[in-house]
A and B are shown apart, each in its own frame.
Chain A
Amino acid sequence: MIRLHFFGRLSDLATQVPSRCAGETPHAIRQWLAEDFPELAVQLNEPQVLVSVNHCIVDWQTPLTDGDEVAFLPPVTGG
């Protein structure tokens, strides 16, 4: 299973999303999410939203393996 994390404005839209799921790539997970969470999917498709696997920013087509941690990251606003 893949562990999922959502941050910033995405976290407000993902409160009902399961914390674990199956999926071969972050892109596939994003498509799967669109079925039940269309509002979240619109935000996930924004070009500024980045995806990380195990704390590294990656391409949306990166293959996932069991136990990976995937996070969806809107533009950061710290400091």
Chain B
Amino acid sequence: MLTTLRIQAEDFDLAEQYSLLRSSSPATTEIGAIVTFTGLVREFEPRSRDHNDDGGALDGMRLQHYPGMTEKLLQGIIDDAAQRWPLLAVTVIHRVGHLAPCDQIVFLGVASEHRQPAFQAAEFIMDYLKTRATFWKQITIDGQPRWVDSKDSDTTAARRWDAQCDG
């Protein structure tokens, strides 16, 4: 399986990443399905449960990560997915640094022979990325920076995979 893993400040081009995923796998002719996911910076952030604010329109966002550990954790998540489903290629690109509303944050592409493993592996990788990979978001609203709270719904989403032995 071909894995591409990048953590970068620069933006990425969806068409280019799709094209690379489609053509660069050694098993190109076996690919029957490609699922892609793109995460974006929302303009409005809801009220925080841990902060005394009403949420509001974002001025911007800063993404911090733990160099070295992030790559290791993401590779582990991709390896876990490849154990569960027959995958041909996976690309993960996660941006760090300063981002503006509507900017792209994360790209995931999963190539497989059939759509079902591609869909399921894509959900699995995103659920684990959100709950395990060492990234932290700091948003600024009305000039006030604050760290984003982790979401219980993300933890619940990741846990559903724990109960399944083989996808």
B-contacting residues of A (Cβ < 8 Å)? Answer: 5, 7-9, 11-12, 48, 52, 55, 71, 73-79
- Known interface pairs A8-B64, A11-B64; A78-B133 also in contact (CB < 8 Å): yes
Query: Of A12, A48, A76, which contacts B132 at CB under 8 A?
Result: A76
Chain B residues with CB under 8 A of A77: 130, 135-137, 147-151
Q: Which of A5, A7, A52, A79 counts the most chain B CB atoms within 10 A?
A: A79
B72 at the interface (CB under 8 A from A): yes
Chain B binding surface, main DSSP class: mixed
B105 at the interface (CB under 8 A from A): yes
By beta carbon, the residue of chain B nearest A8 is: B136
User: Can you name the residue of chain A whose Cβ is closest to the Cβ of B37?
Assistant: A79
Is B137 a contact partner of A71 (Cβ separation < 8 A)? no
A46 and B151 alpha carbons, distance in the complex (Å): 16
Whether A76 contacts B105 by the Cβ 8 Å rule is: no
